[in-house]
Structure 1
């Protein structure tokens, strides 16, 4: 991302503005299976392709909600939410998350990020809150909407 004048000291000027939209990323069965192996969440609706085709109301497997949530960080970094003059940006947590639409295996998603607030915490630290909307290609409703927090270190 290259928002003109987007720096730690000018974050306040960007509050309420969309910072950008990431590229599309594929959520395929391989990614879903890797997440299941990493987390131990092997519920059939995520990993049993044949059963999901037969029994799932979605016609196949779907990504874990937490897998879709975990994509936000890298996609937000792709957009450039940490200003280039910041020494670091640290995950500080979540204020609100709503899973709205399942992501079917093979779907592509992208993150749309809006800066909600930038609060100076002193000592060269700024707490930023963003709203992240994980859109699913071809779907009307997003996969999720989450307010994330990051501590920027100047």
Structure 2
């Protein structure tokens, strides 16, 4: 795991791969709980019988937003940012869903520091992301997330 204590340490990694998280298995229970939390019970996510005959995937698939919501959890396995007053999820840019994540698939986050700026003492970090699906050539998604880090003085 990479440890970052301040802007200067973060900036040293510009243009570099930061690493990959561990694999995380997407279970039907997790999909169902996400459906409940978001009120999105579309059958492709929750109807385990219907998908066998009517879905091209032949299995339920994770919500795209479920896979996105894993970013903070998986990111914290890659980089530990210390000495913080606060951190903010600031945005997502250039996001593309490339492939559905079927139930019981394992995913991991691959990251690269693609941009960094010091905005009057606030670090804006642009992280290139790819959610890899184990044993699949295409990722679930690619894009760029933006975090704001307010380091202690």
Normalising by structure 1, what TM-score?
Answer: 0.92
Retained in 2: the 8 A contact 1:8–1:83? Answer: no
State the distance in 1 between where 2:8 and 2:55 align: 50
Query: In 2, Cα distance between the equivalents of 1:105 and 1:74?
Result: 19
Q: Give the direction of change, closer, same or farther, for the CA distance of 1:60–1:46 in structure 2 (3 Å limit).
A: same
For structure 1, which segment, 71-80 or 31-40, has the greater mean C-alpha deviation from structure 2 after superposition?
A: 71-80
**Which position in structure 2 is the counterpart of 1:71?**
70
Query: Is 1:35 matched with 2:34?
Result: yes
Measured in 1, the distance between the counterparts of 2:13 and 2:53 equals 48
Structure number having the greater strand percentage = 2
Task: Give ranges in structure 1 of 5+ residues lacking alignment.
Answer: none
Could you tell me the TM-score, scaled by structure 2's length?
A: 0.93
- For the aligned residue pairs, the C-alpha RMSD in angstroms reads 1.4
Question: After TM superposition, where is structure 1 displaced by more than 4 Å over at least 4 residues in a row?
Answer: none
Give the deviation of 1:129 after TM superposition.
Answer: 0.4
For these two proteins, the number of residue pairs brought into alignment is 151
**How far apart are residue 84 of structure 1 and its match?**
1.9
Structure with the largest fraction of helix:
1
1:128 to 108, 125, 147: 125
